[in-house]
Structure 1
Amino acid sequence: MKKEYQLNGKNVHYKISGRGETLVLLHGYLESLEMWSEHQEFLSDKYQVISIDLPGHGLTDNFGDIHTMSFMAEVVYEILQDEKVEKCVMVGHSMGGYTTLAFAKKYPQMLNGFGLFHSHASADTDVAKRNRERTIEIIKQDKGQFINEFIPSLFAPDNVEKFADQIEIQMKMANAMPKESVIAAMAGMKERSSTVDILMDSKVPVLFIAGKHDSRIPLEKTLAQAALPTISQILILGDAGHMSWAEEEQKTITALDGFMQLCND
């Protein structure tokens, strides 16, 4: 069931289905809750699954010039409060992982576990921040060109042709986003702080999903961070880039199912 929630006069769009223990799925940059459609359909046979369009993405309104990860976590919290969810497992793809970590920092009592789906806990380096600033200037000049170059680069090189239809869908959806929303999320990612301490101090299991051909996150970084929590699960996909939710759909569905069982035993 697709639903809407009003927050500060703005509309937040989300989808809720199934019954049982709650799994919250958060999409990445330039994506929407639609990326989780197959995962949600399968997993809602066993769990209550909530997917959310984060601020400025999908059918959720833009809230301002910058959408920090902390603010996005607050929006997620408001949805869960409205749905009377007291405990959940939260998994985020890329930017959604940054939001998940911000949520874990602010509301640890609500989590039975959390997952980083092609994501990590490090803050941007000074070089990365400058790159984001340059990217924002590029977006201001030609949003479409940025999107049409950025999204194919997220897939493993051998998968670009294979997933051409999916890439086209992602580009069309991203190009429909207002320029202000594209910039607000980029600015928010630039400003995020390190949450490595959240991994080190976690009292709940943490899932890591990584692609061997991920052009955004080196496998070595994922492996190093996966060693930090007391309990970790890690799935390394040899044929995937940054988009294994599409590139290895069934394997990632199975991984989420297994992680839910671990967290709710």
Structure 2
Amino acid sequence: MTVTLRFQDSGEGIPLVLLHAFPLSARMWANQRAALSDTCRVITPDLRGFGASPAGDGEPSLEAMADDLYQLLDRLDLGSVVLGGLSMGGYVAMAFLRKYPHRVAALVLADTKAAADTPQIRENRHKLAHEVTETATINAVYDRVLPTLLGRSTRDHRPEVVSEVRDIVGDATPAGVAWAAQAMAARPDSRDVLAKANVPALVIVGDEDQIVTVADTEAMADALPKVTMARLMAAGHLSAMEDPRAFNAAVRDFVGSLI
């Protein structure tokens, strides 16, 4: 069963849907909504179980999240959109592309990868889900996930970003974290899906990303037929928050090329 997503909608023009990272919410896109709304219509949903969107039930899967997004696009009477996602948001974007390719006019994939999880990463996700469920807290997120989300430059020189990220993560619930962690662990390899995506694509990576390497990103870009790649030199995994000026410039140029 689908979940009715809460979302924010700013600007006019080409619809750009941005899907947030784990374990954040659409709050992470505040800078993009402000900076890009003069270029396009920026739509930022809270994925199920995060922000203001209710948690779903059933077997955890990214396909369920993709179905939620499909329902949202129908509610907004949107045909095809520029679909973007960072980290988990990128995984959901690829799941959406697999199921509903006719609704994707272009892709923006940031700090994410097309390959399925390794056995070790999959095991770590299940451990995280178990721990937050057993403790009924997200303390494990603060201990295991939060330290890897930001690059060295941000941790050393941008305390306001560190504080904002921690604040957004603090809104996450154990149920939402557990469900999403298991959904990500179950995701398939998506390189075959990208290879068939005959649409323009922008791939972005923070050079200090500890979770998705530049090599991971290059492998994903190699699978895409029509790709532009942007590498942000002083940003980590949350590149849209860590270097919003460079991130927004790359997206603005990309969307402008579609007109």
Question: Taking structure 2 as the reference length, what is the TM-score of the superposition?
Answer: 0.93
**How far apart are residue 66 of structure 1 and its match?**
4.8
Match of 2:230 in 1: 235
**How far apart are residue 49 of structure 1 and its match?**
1.4
**How far apart are residue 112 of structure 1 and its match?**
1.3
SS of the counterpart of 1:63? coil
What is the percentage of aligned positions where both structures have the same residue? 26
Alignment of 1:160-199 (within 5 A): 160-199=155-194
Alignment of 1:75-224 (within 5 A): 75-142=68-135, 143-149=137-143, 150-224=145-219
Deviations 1:79-118 (A, max 9, x none): 1111110121011010000000011111111111112110
Structure 1's consecutive aligned runs of 4 or more residues displaced over 4 angstroms after TM superposition are none
Aligned length: 257
SS of the counterpart of 1:12? coil
- Provide the rounded CA distance (Å) in 1 between the counterparts of 2:67 and 2:130: 28
Q: Which residue type is aligned with residue 77 of structure 1?
A: Y
- Provide the rounded CA distance (Å) in 2 between the counterparts of 1:261 and 1:213: 27
- Structure 1: gaps (5+ residues): 1-6
1:226 aligned to 206, 217, 221, which one?
221
- Provide the rounded CA distance (Å) in 2 between the counterparts of 1:247 and 1:178: 24
On the 8 A contact 2:138/2:172 being kept in 1, the answer is no
RMSD of aligned C-alpha atoms? Answer: 1.7
SS of the counterpart of 2:6? strand
- Provide the rounded CA distance (Å) in 1 between the counterparts of 2:59 and 2:111: 23
SS of the counterpart of 1:115? strand
Question: Taking structure 1 as the reference length, what is the TM-score of the superposition?
Answer: 0.91
Call closer, same or farther: CA 1:44–1:113 in 2, change over 3 Å. Answer: same
- Provide the rounded CA distance (Å) in 2 between the counterparts of 1:145 and 1:164: 21
SS of the counterpart of 2:235? coil
Deviations 1:55-100 (A, max 9, x none): 0011101112654211111111111111110121011010000000
Deviations 1:34-62 (A, max 9, x none): 11111112211121111100000111011
**How far apart are residue 162 of structure 1 and its match?**
2.5
Deviations 1:126-166 (A, max 9, x none): 22211212222332355443222322321112321423333
The answer to which of 112-121 and 89-98 deviates more is: 112-121
- Provide the rounded CA distance (Å) in 2 between the counterparts of 1:242 and 1:118: 6
SS of the counterpart of 1:227? helix
- Provide the rounded CA distance (Å) in 1 between the counterparts of 2:177 and 2:59: 10
On the 8 A contact 2:4/2:72 being kept in 1, the answer is no
Match of 1:12 in 2: 5
On the 8 A contact 1:66/1:183 being kept in 2, the answer is no
Match of 1:248 in 2: 243
